[in-house]
A and B are shown apart, each in its own frame.
Chain A
């Protein structure tokens, strides 16, 4: 491989790694946010007065 091809390979490896790490980080943050807020909704429904504690979100609504 010539010099430009070699350097291009390093550049794209760098881009690929950045995209992978940033993608995983964004997915982790958004995924945890969604899961936690769903848990909060469930916990709030269960703890509300008159609720028998066995209802899901859909049943409660």
Chain B
């Protein structure tokens, strides 16, 4: 979303805003799933559903950023007025990405330190690492397919809006 927003600002590509806009609900759903299933995992492993530790809190903030971004598009009827504001929200929200990634290294809280992407190789046993990587790829593939379909939907919606506007003007 931040990349698309940056492309929209720099190159004024007409599809960039659409790509960012339709990625937000998908991202929010994936983020919710990560928080919810993580919580279900946390109960037997950590003994608690939720703690305000660095990783969980930064992921929760990410969820709020997704909802805020979606709210900007929903709150402003005119897409030409909503787009600049949404771009700013996406770019400011991108600051949270490295915070999510490095939160477990910067703050020593309940969540374990980095174990997949770290210097010196992964510390996860291969019996868990490979399923994790395969599922990661599967989720990325699902996102890619749904994102492409959603972009096609957004283009069709824009065409419908344009046809209606042209129809109203010519009457």
Residues of A within 8 A of B (CB): 6-7, 10, 13-14, 17-18, 21-22, 24-26, 28-30, 32-33, 36-37, 39-40, 43-44, 46-47
Contacts and interface: CB of A to CB of B under 8 A. Distances in A.
A22 B167 contact: no
Contact of B37 (A17, A25, A30, A39): A17
Contacts of A22: 29, 33, 142
How many chain B residues sit at the interface, stated as a range, is 20 to 34
21 contacts: A10-B40, A10-B44, A13-B40, A17-B40, A21-B32, A21-B33, A21-B36, A22-B142, A25-B25, A25-B29, A29-B26, A33-B156, A37-B153, A37-B156, A39-B157, A40-B160, A43-B159, A43-B160, A44-B163, A47-B166, A47-B167
B41 interface: yes
A17 B33 CA distance: 8
Interface string B50-81: 00000000000000000000000000000000
Interface stretch (B2-10, B12-20, B97-105, B144-152): B144-152
Nearest to B159: A40
Interface in B117-167: 142, 146, 149-150, 152-153, 156-157, 159-160, 163-164, 166-167
Contact of B163 (A29, A33, A37, A47): A47
Interface of B: prevailing SS? helix
Nearest to A13: B40
B170 to A, nearest CB: 9
Contacts of B37: 14, 17-18
A40 B44 contact: no
A7 B45 CA distance: 9
A14 to B, nearest CB: 5
A36 to B, nearest CB: 5
Contacts of B26: 25, 29
